[in-house]
Structure 1
Amino acid sequence: MFLKRANRIHPEFRIGAAEMWPQAPGMAAWGLMTGVAMANSGMGLGAALLMTLTVFAGSSQLAATPLMIAGAPAWVILATAFCVNLRFVVFSLHLRPYLMHLPWLERISHGYLTTDLTYVMFTKRFPHPGDTPEARNAQEAYLAGSNTATWISWMPISITGVVLANFIPTTWGLGFAGILCLIGILCSLASTRLRLLSAAVAAVAAIVAYQLPFKLNIVVAIAVAVLACMGTEKLRPAPGKERAE
């Protein structure tokens, strides 16, 4: 598993955790705000705690919760949560060469615990998969350390938000702190022109479709951004053609 001894004693485990700790305040604020939002939405304490412990995805939790309370159809809830977390499919495809040597249960554990920030930090430190057992072990240990620090920063605080929601005043500005955290993640990921284009297209589409019920503007924004990027990719000349010209 992600906390197996071989990972915990590896130096890269401590490096991964140490590089993630500076991000902990932002993640904690986002987790606290998510817990408070779920508790204040009318969802029961047991359901909110169960969702917090099993989903481990703040953006999809916040997107799905009001839909569940509003009695939206199951397909709308599932489609919204799926679209909001669609980026993790891309993350997983990118991380596949790094983790394919591991048993399936360990791969599932890493996939479940990997977040936007851990993905960003991991790929910056290891641009390419390791080509030796030692290199692969180092990469796994770093990812495990990063994931562990993220989980510790998020889960206890999010549970605290669920349990103590009635005692946490709105004047704390947790929503704004969570937004700042997400903006930081977005800026880290928007490292190419195509990613900047997708972010801009998604933002415009989400605003234009804001009046749609059940927060379907999120689904529309993601679909439009994906289609726009796919179209842009097809319009790009092939590398060989560029050189020939």
Structure 2
Amino acid sequence: MFFLPEIHRHPAFRDGIRSSSGVAPGIAAWGLMTGVAMIKSGMSVVEAVAMTLFVYAGSSQLAAIPLIVAGAPAWVVWATSFCVNLRFVVFSLHLRDYLMHLPRWRRLANGFLTADLTYALFTGRHPEPAQDAAGRLEQEAFLAGNYFLTWCSWIGASLVGIAIGNAIPAEWGLGFAGVLCLVGIVCSLANTPMRLMAAAVAGVAAVATFALPLKLNVVAAIAIAVLACMVVENRMPPPARERAA
């Protein structure tokens, strides 16, 4: 989207770049270690580059790599990646009112390029969809500026990690910067009792089911947290349910 003149020439595009400049180093460090991890796992350069360019989802990439190395069935790899990325369904639902006026190809492009931190920064800056054409263009330009920098940081660093491969020792722990970014997202988004409960249940479930093979504790934690929230929400009276939502 950032190649469209009306987008990258808009002042809000530069505002979006500035807003994501603080998290770009962490994203780059995480992308670098993901690139290294793919090469060290035994993936070919072509496979690693293809996964970087077409998947563009660090958490699902890191979840899928050990499963691929362990020779897990394809359905397990797909199911794990699907569950890890379920949060993007929620992001897309929330962004629907912001982007539904756009042509389908632009909605698809925005959806593909929007990541966790992009979503958090964008909704923090624009909590409500604009009601006029100028406001909608401004919001799309800000969103594009956000994901332009995060996309460049991730893709560039991942490709560097693939290129240098085993030259970077895992002991450097650069990937921890990416973990810190995700912790920041969780802390900023866990701002209601329901969200706090979901995070707590998922964390406890992931630890309790750690012994499951093929990293299935991640899938189990997501499923248990979703079910727990559904049970609690269904037992709430309608006014309390609306407040929780």
* Same fold (TM > 0.5): yes
Aligned equivalent of 2:172: 172
1:81-106 Cα distance to aligned partner (Å, 9 max, x none): 00000000000011011101111111
Name stretches of at least 5 consecutive residues in structure 1 with no aligned partner: none
Q: How many residues align?
A: 242
Q: CA deviation at 1:136?
A: 0.6
| 1:221 counterpart = 2:221 | yes
Counterpart AA for 1:141: A
Q: CA deviation at 1:22?
A: 0.8
Aligned equivalent of 1:149: 149
Change (3 A) 1:88 1:238: same
| 1:209 counterpart = 2:209 | yes
For normalisation by structure 1, the TM-score amounts to 0.95
CA distance in 1, matches of 2:241, 2:172: 56
1:180-235 Cα distance to aligned partner (Å, 9 max, x none): 22212221221222111111100111111111111111110000000111112112
1:30-75 Cα distance to aligned partner (Å, 9 max, x none): 1111111111111111111110111110000010111112221111
Counterpart AA for 1:64: A
Q: Percent identity?
A: 59
Query: SS at 1:131's partner residue?
Result: coil
Aligned equivalent of 2:77: 77
Name stretches of at least 5 consecutive residues in structure 2 with no aligned partner: none
Q: CA deviation at 1:237?
A: 1.6
Aligned equivalent of 1:115: 115
Query: SS at 1:22's partner residue?
Result: coil
Contact 2:49 2:162 (8 Å CA) reproduced: yes
1:124-163 Cα distance to aligned partner (Å, 9 max, x none): 1111111111111111111011010111111100111111
Q: CA deviation at 1:241?
A: 10
Counterpart AA for 2:158: S
Aligned equivalent of 2:235: 235
Change (3 A) 1:134 1:41: same
Contact 1:30 1:181 (8 Å CA) reproduced: no
User: Following superposition of structure 1 onto structure 2, how do residues 1-245 of structure 1 map, counting pairs within 5 Å?
Assistant: 1-239=1-239
CA distance in 1, matches of 2:230, 2:121: 26
For normalisation by structure 2, the TM-score amounts to 0.95
Contact 1:34 1:58 (8 Å CA) reproduced: yes
CA distance in 2, matches of 1:72, 1:108: 30
Query: SS at 2:23's partner residue?
Result: helix
Query: SS at 2:175's partner residue?
Result: helix
Task: Name which of structure 1's ranges 62-71 and 174-183 shifts more when overlaid on structure 2.
Answer: 174-183
CA RMSD of aligned residues (A): 1.5
Contact 1:34 1:158 (8 Å CA) reproduced: yes
CA distance in 2, matches of 1:34, 1:155: 10
Query: SS at 1:210's partner residue?
Result: coil
